[in-house]
Amino acid sequence: MSNARALLIVLDGFGIGKDSPFNAIANARKPFIKGLLEKYPHSQLLTHGEAVGLPPGVMGNSEVGHMTMGAGRVIYQDLTRISKEIREGEFFKIPLLRS
């Protein structure tokens, strides 16, 4: 059995984007975060659009992000779920809608 450990760090409002004079995160001094990124393996998560169950191009939010991470899979939000069911022909098979 391995003693490997993992740590999930959630920084609400902290995004990784393109460097620009207008990107506060990119321009901030972040010695602790920089040290973590240099020393340990890490990954980035998509927090918008279909990756978190929202329509393409729609920005995520704290609730959607936490729900997706907790579930470990995409949880389609109402609008996206209904649109997906219509597109796949499943929506009108719902018994309540047929009665």
| pLDDT tens profile 52-96 | 999 888 888 888 888 898 898 999 888 888 988 999 999 989 888
Which pLDDT score, from 0 to 100, does residue 40 have? 92
List the structure tokens of 39.
């020393």
Question: Would residue 4 count as lying in a domain?
Answer: no
Would you name the residues annotated as active-site residues? 62
At 12 the pLDDT is: 83
Q: Is the pLDDT of residue 8 over 90?
A: no
Q: Helix or strand or coil: residue 44?
A: coil
User: Does residue 15 sit within a domain?
Assistant: no
When divided into structural domains, the chain yields a total of 1
Is 36 part of a structural domain of the chain? yes
Burial 19-36 (b: 16+ CB within 10 A, else e): eeeeeeeeeeeeeeeeee
- The answer to whether position 11 is within a domain reads no
Residue type, 81: R
51 domain residue, yes or no = yes
In a domain, 43, yes or no: yes
Report residue 48 as tokens. Answer: 């918008």
Sign of the dihedral through C-alpha 74, 77, 79, 81? positive
Q: 12-19: which pairs have CB atoms within 8 A and are 24 or more residues apart?
A: 12/62, 12/65, 15/47, 16/44
| Mean pLDDT value across the chain | 89
